[in-house]
Amino acid sequence: MERRTFVKSLASTVAVAQILPGATEALEQQVTRLQTAMSAAVDDAKLWRRVRQEFTLNPGLVHFNCGSVGATPRLVVDAMANFTRELEADPYHNEWGGLGAGQEAVREKAAEFIGASLDEVALTRNTTEGMNLVATGLNLQKGDEILTTNHEHGGGMVCWQYLAKHHGVKMRYVQMPNPVKNKADILERIERHINKRTRVCSFSHIDTITGLQMPLAEIAAITRPKGIIFVCDGAQAPGMLDVDVKALGVDTYASSSHKWMLAPKGTGLLYIRKEIQDRVHPIMLYSGYGVYSGSSGTRNVSQILGHGIAMDFHNAIGRSRIEARCRHLSRLVRDRLRDIPALTLLTPEQEELSSGVVTFALDPARGDRGEIVKRFWNEHNMILKPAQGTYAYVPEEHVKGPHAHYNPIRISTHIFNSEDEVEKMAGLMKKMLA
């Protein structure tokens, strides 16, 4: 995005609210400094070192777990602190008017960020909430079927299990191949499980265990002609991939902005495609998709405005540039760990099926993932993730196959990470598993 356009976008969050004299200027100055430094950087390494300075992570801490929760840039942290001070100086006037009036500009940014229209996007607290809103807003009947996979996270799964328990809907689970070799295999498995009772297909955009990027557009080409609602758990994508919900063809898309979008904790978004809004009626959206309404109730204004600044931060650097950086680092992780005999790569190698999340299954004979991750933290100040691999949310009978319980270690790479961090982590992993 061109600097002037970006600064205008950045300013809109605060300017609309007509608050904080000087806040817009201060933010503009910070962004100008960042952008000037970035364009002056002679090489990529220098540029990304400069970006790293925008974060408040403890010195020496290596955060490879954006898949759980992201690190919020200083720009956003400072802006939020200012918003909170302002809000608390006159809570009544700033909750709904004043400061609070800036919240709708954030919803506009969220719509633009994922390629949707304003009347299709609501601001939520997280993916789980978005998925719950969709599931309970669908009016499914006893015997209706939900098709999902045995690789979903609880945040995208519990909503259907609730409907199964309390409303008699039936769940069917596609067994995900491991590792996934090609797109056709996934599509064939999905198609094989669809029948006349299938009302919903619910799949993650990025598999929380393996980092697989699901071929959503191809799945939509199967579901849409059949009138099946295609629900997507997008917890792991916006802010890492440059997401365009229209190109993906999904009917609903729920995400957590506190992960890859690096937004304040407890922020998320929900997209419901215009054409299916007559089939999905979440109570929270009964009075409309606006941030505050009679059916949403009172919101956390400073957090929501901070969400807007986080999107501005991404736009300043460039969403496709960020995606390329996340992918570059995750390729490096794959390259450096691939040859360790105790590890089996679970993430597909193909660009279109992979992402900024990389997972290896650790041979249980060579160690326990929890112990290894603990050593990285206790001895080296590095955060890796012992990924869900025991299917905490999937009934045992749906867990089959060679890597049924993977003992997986997951590594997420974002723009605050560096090649040096990856090299160091890989060297340590080799030594630990030697």
Ligand X SMILES: Cc1ncc(COP(=O)(O)O)c(C=O)c1O
Q: In this structure, are residues 157 and 130 in contact, taking their beta carbons and an 8 Å threshold?
A: no
Shortest Cβ 95–ligand X spacing (Å) = 24
The residue at minimum Cβ distance from ligand X is 155
DSSP secondary structure of 222-249: HHGGGT-EEEEE-TT-BTTB---HHHHT
- Residue 114, Cα to own-chain centre: how many angstroms? 12
Shortest distance, position 427 Cβ to ligand X, whole Å: 28
- The residue (of 233 and 242) whose beta carbon lies closer to ligand X is 233
Name the residue nearer to ligand X (CB basis): 105 or 254.
254
Asked if omega into 225 is within 30° of 0 (cis), the reply is: no
Q: Closer to ligand X by CB, 68 or 175: give it.
A: 68
Residue 233 CB, nearest approach to ligand X (Å): 5
Radius of gyration of the chain (CA): 22
Quick check: helix, strand or coil at residue 21? coil
Handedness of CA 277, 283, 288, 289 (dihedral sign): negative
> What three-state secondary structure class fits 414?
coil
**Closest CB 247 distance from ligand X, rounded Å:** 20
Cβ nearer to ligand X, comparing 24 with 68: 68
CB of 104 to ligand X, least distance (A): 23
* Identity of the residue, 9 or 148, whose beta carbon is nearer to ligand X in the bound complex: 148
Residue 35 to residues 8, 41, 260, 317: CA-CA distances in angstroms?
A: 14, 10, 21, 8
Residue 350 near residue 334, CB atoms below 8 Å? no
CA 40 to chain centroid, in Å, comes to 31
Q: Could you tell me the smallest distance in angstroms from the CB atom of residue 98 to ligand X?
A: 29
SS (H, E, C) 354-403: CCCEEEEEECHHHCCHHHHHHHHHHHHCEECEECCCCCCCCCHHHCCCCC
In the complex with ligand X, the residue whose CB is nearer, 51 or 285, is: 285
In the complex, the residues that contact ligand X under the rule CB under 6 A are 68, 126-128, 153, 155-156, 204, 208, 233, 235-236, 256
Smallest distance, Å, CB 266 to ligand X?
9
Cα angle: 12, vertex 18, 22; to 5 degrees: 85
CB closer to ligand X, 214 vs 322: 214
Query: Nearer to ligand X by C-beta: 9 or 202?
Result: 202
Give me the least distance between CB of 127 and ligand X, in Å please. Answer: 4
**Which of 12, 251, 291, 345 has its CA nearest to residue 125?**
291
Would you give the DSSP letter of residue 176? Answer: P
Alpha-helical segments (H) within 210-338: 216-223, 245-248, 301-317, 319-337
186 CB-contact burial (10 Å; exposed 0-12 / middle 13-18 / buried 19+): buried
CB of 181 to ligand X, least distance (A): 22
Task: Closer to ligand X by CB, 20 or 387: give it.
Answer: 387
Question: Distance (Å, rounded) from C-alpha 411 to C-alpha 119?
Answer: 36
**Beta carbon nearer to ligand X, 16 or 270:** 270
Distance CA 243, CA 222 (A): 20
Instruction: Say how many residues make up the chain.
Output: 434
Which residue, 70 or 100, is less far from ligand X as judged by CB?
70
Least CB distance to ligand X at residue 161 (A)? 14
Query: Least distance (Å) from ligand X to the CB of residue 256?
Result: 3
